[in-house]
Structure 1
Amino acid sequence: MTKRLLDSPEAIRLLVDSFYEKIQVDPLLGPIFTDVAQVDWSHHLPKMYAFWENIILGNNAYHGHPFQPHLLVNQKHTLGVEHFERWLQLFTKTLDERFEGQTADDVRLRATQIAVVWNRKLEYLNGV
């Protein structure tokens, strides 16, 4: 598979779609998305395209509060470090398989920061 730069809305859609294909079949995270959050993929994926376009391209495509849905899921099923580690593993694997260049490296770092910060916030809220 030829790797590409992460430099356009089309590349970001490829990243998001490839990543969430992995999520949906993952034994740890799949049930969280399917059974607990009951994600409507036709609604969720465009939000994720906008979220990552905002981070990668700086185009202000995303307007929202990305942590809020995680709080709601956490009320139904406690999210722990194992969930964020797996999320990061799958995200990094997707980046490594499909993308190259400085932007991919920057996005890998940003995803790590998101996973660490959101896990810490939830640990605090869960009293861990």
Structure 2
Amino acid sequence: MPSATIWRAIRWGFVALFASGACVHVFLALATPRSYDGFADTAFFGWVHDGWQNIFMAHPTVWALLLAAAELTIAILLVKVPRVGYVAVIAFHLALMLFGWGFWLWCVPALAFAVPAARNSFRSGR
């Protein structure tokens, strides 16, 4: 069983990842909102691709800013309420996997850290 230091490092790694992701999305939303256009091209299901094109890309600046707010919220939850934060991290990565196999290259390793860290958070009461 990893030490508390390892679990803390994993949690803070996710905090940094989601906080920096929020910053990236703010930049992209304001500088190049059309850069999100091909994001769902490799989605597994037509409804994911169509939803992305018809909903997100209808107003990419607004949706990208909301995405940034969601990522920042996840980072804050990981600091304030780790159990809820980890549930959000896991849900975020599972949803991201709907966008195609390429995202699995990121999500599977991320989940390999997030799921045990969440389990530890629930077991330790923190």
- What TM-score bracket applies, with the shorter chain setting the length? 0.3 to 0.5
Q: Which has the higher contact order (CA 8 A, sep 6+)?
A: 1
Tell me the TM-score normalized by structure 1. Answer: 0.35
Judging by fraction of residues, say which structure has more helix.
2
Tell me the TM-score normalized by structure 2. Answer: 0.35
